Structures are given as C-alpha cells and as structure tokens.
A and B are shown apart, each in its own frame.
Chain A
C-alpha cells in the first residue's frame, strides 16, 4: 500500500508545484462568474434561495468536477508525451492502485481548490451556511473521486492532448452547463427537464447544493445513489483501462 501512497504524494506534489494553474486559475473563474451573474441577476429568487446563493453552490461544484477531471487527465497525457509513463509501467504497483493514487490526488486537488475558493469568495455571499454535513462530506468525496477516476480513464486512454481537449470542450463543458449550475433543471421546458435528470453531473451538483443550502432539484438520496453507482462503474472502467495501458 505504501507504494500507492508514494505515487499519490508525487501527484499531490505535482499540482502544488503548479499552483498557479491548478489552484489559482479555477478560483479566478469562479470569482469572474460570480461577479457577472451576481450583478446581472443578483436579485432573483429560486425557491427560498437568492440566485447568488444558488449559483455559488453550482459554481463550486463545477470547480470540483473540472479540477478533479483535469488533474489526472493532463498529468497522464504529459507523462505519455514526455515518456515518463514508463515509470508507471515499471513500478511494482497493481493497476487499480495506480488508478486510485491518481484519483485520490485529483480528489485532494478538488478539495484544496474548493477550500481556497470558499475562503476567498464566501465574504461576498450573503447568509451562506451549511444544511447537511453528511451530504456535504459524501458529496465532496464522491464527486472528487468520480471525476478523478474519469480523468484517469481518459488520461490513460487518450493518445494526445487533442483527444483530452475534445473531451473537456465538447463533452464535459456542455454537460456541466446543462446540469443545473446556473438554473434549476425543473425550469427547463418540457422534455429537456426530464433529459437533464440523466445528466450524471446534475446529481453531483444536486447533492452539494442540498448539503449547503437545503435546496434540491429532486430527491438528494436518489442523487447520492446515482453518484455511487456511477463511481463504481468508473472504478471498473479505470481499472481495466489502466491495466491495459501499463501493460501493452
């Protein structure tokens, strides 16, 4: 197990070294979104929540999803390009442990970024509190791990930067934007509201928003179940892809 933690420590050290890119820039994005949406639609109410409270939880969720996905994704692609992927191929570590080391480092980056972002921006959010600590902890850990594992799967599978950029630009970003970061999915017209429920990211946002504010776009327990099942599926996907990638 110590071998897995050494790899985890290496990946955490890597994002610490590149903190401007890995921690600071997502926080700047959140701050920019907040200022724009806060000014434009700041006074609107969604249920008992002010729009700024609603969008704030959505933006923080979006930040964890993006940070957790991109951390292993880009680290692995760079490693393939430079050739240092051979370190993973040579090391006596089982494939699932390699995957988990990267996924846990992704979770760590997601949490560090979240804490720093909250400390930097919470002063601008009126009466922001905590509704359910259990949902918050489960939501944070599962979201970080889920997208960390997705990042490992794509990082291992993708042949080059273009493939990963395609994934983030044309799949992840639309899914995040249509998951209810900026609006409640129930507000979508007709069939779109039903389709949005099948967007997995919607459930991550739902859990975290419920944990922070008590507002929910559907049963939070169902969302927790969906996230748990997707995490298990992603664990197996990550395991198989990693195994195939480290032994050709």
Chain B
C-alpha cells in the first residue's frame, strides 16, 4: 500500500497585485509504506508548499493527496491523525515548559492522559532532552528546540512522518543522532518523507528521491538507478611512468587517464595486466547525488 499518493497537484498563489504564481505545478508521485523518501530541490522549488498541502495546512488548487488511502482534503482530521510533521521553522510556546508543551500537544492528537507522561519520558530520553523537561521551551538552544519539535511530531506514534529540513542548523553530532532516530523509526515501520539541503544526508538515508525545481518534478526514482543513469561510466587512473604505450581507447585528461567502462571486473583486470606495477591510483566514477542535483537544477 502507498503511504502517500500525490496526483496532479498544483498550488496557485495570488500576489497582492493580483499576479498569479504557481508554486507547485502538476506534481505526482507516491511513497510506498515503510520507505524513507527524500524530497530535494533548491530554495523556492516548492518543497515546503507541497509538504504544507499534504499536512493539511494548505489546500491544493487542483489534484489529490492521499495518506494511506485517506484523502487529505475530504477527510482532513483522519489523515492528520496518521501524520507527524516537523516544520522547517523553529517555533515554540512562550509560556510553557518542555513537558507541558508535549503534554498538551500529544493531548491534541488524542494520546490518552494515562499514558501521556510515560510516552513523553520515552521520547525525551530518545532525544536527550530528559534533563530539560522542566525548563521553559523558549529558553532552549536552537538544537534543543529542533529536538523538541521532532519530539512533538513523534509522540502520537504516527504512521507517516514528514520532516522539513530536520537537520538545518544543527551540529554534526546531533545530525547523526537525528539520522539514527530516523532509521530506527523507519525500522519500526514508520514511513518517512523528508526534505533536506544536505545531499549527503539523502544519500545516507534514502532509497528513493524526488527532485523538484520551479514547482515541478525534474527527476524521481531509486537513488541507485539515478546514480547509474548519471554516472559517466568511466575508469580513471594515474600512472607513475606516463611514457608507456597505452591501451586503445584510453584518453589522457590532465594528469589522469580515462578508460570507457563496460564491465567493471573485466576492464579493471585488463588495465591492471597492461600497466602492471605502474598504476598509482585507480577508481571508477559513480555520479554523486550532488552532481545529479546540479545537473538537473542548473537551468
């Protein structure tokens, strides 16, 4: 079953000068239950607008969005109950402590009063916030506020978790911790959609990605397939002695040599036999997500 099905979704905004602007244009994609899916794109690509629509905050101008088969527009509350959302902006309650924020927010998702405190303790422990439970939420540091927002989103054990740039502005250690949490929640059955600017993050966590630019999808699919499609399929190598006779089809590029890749094992064997102990370094080139991203969004 699909956790998320987005079909021909568009969102039109009107400026105060009555000028129309399409933030999302006929977007369609789906996420299979139990997967971690990355939604990537440069600033202004339409990622947050799309997330706002699937979270039930914005109404789509056209198209349909379903969470586990439930239409987000027609059965908003039922769809929202299955969702946990970590918004991009750090916003916290001014008056309440960390524990109070979580207590009332989980209540708003119907977590029974009898289990709320226990659940809050578990989540605070997971996010290393236990010692901050009685502190005012507004006095927390940026990283702690980010963790508090993640805590709010997972308290009611959502089937589908949406994280809008969850690691923006957090340090390396915390980023690693968030990745671990995402992996663990996913292993427990939670489907996860997240947007990120850190492409290495998408490479670490996602099996599938959707790349957006100017409100449209420019590429989607399995990360491995995209890497294969965009990789240059060549072997690069460097030699100690550059004056030797070369294999046919080898091209000199700067200090390196390039050989067209057909079969990795056979080609490596051929190069090794021909150049013998003369090889200084050798690598096959797979396209990084960063290359794919830049290639697809450069215009």
Contacts and interface: CB of A to CB of B under 8 A. Distances in A.
Interface of A: 2-3, 5-7, 9-10, 13-14, 17-18, 78, 82-84, 86-87, 89-94, 246-248
Contacts of B78: 92
Q: Is the interface of A mostly helix, strand, loop or mixed?
A: helix
A2 B107 contact: yes
Contact of B58 (A10, A13, A248): A248
Contact of A7 (B80, B94, B108, B112): B108
B110 A86 contact: no
Nearest to A81: B94
B159 to A, nearest CB: 13
A18 B95 contact: yes
A94 B95 contact: no
Given A89-B57, A92-B80, A247-B57, A82 B94 contact: yes
Q: Across chains A and B, which 8 residue pairs bring their CB atoms closest together, nearest first?
A: A6-B107, A83-B91, A92-B80, A10-B104, A91-B108, A92-B81, A92-B77, A89-B57
Given A83-B91, A86-B91, A91 B104 contact: no
Contacts, number: 83
Nearest to A10: B104
B87 A86 contact: yes
A154 B92 CA distance: 23
A10 B97 CA distance: 12
A91 B76 contact: no
B80 A90 contact: yes
Contacts of B100: 13
14 contacts: A2-B113, A6-B106, A6-B108, A10-B96, A82-B91, A82-B93, A82-B94, A83-B89, A84-B93, A92-B77, A92-B81, A247-B56, A247-B57, A247-B76
B230 interface: no
B55 interface: yes
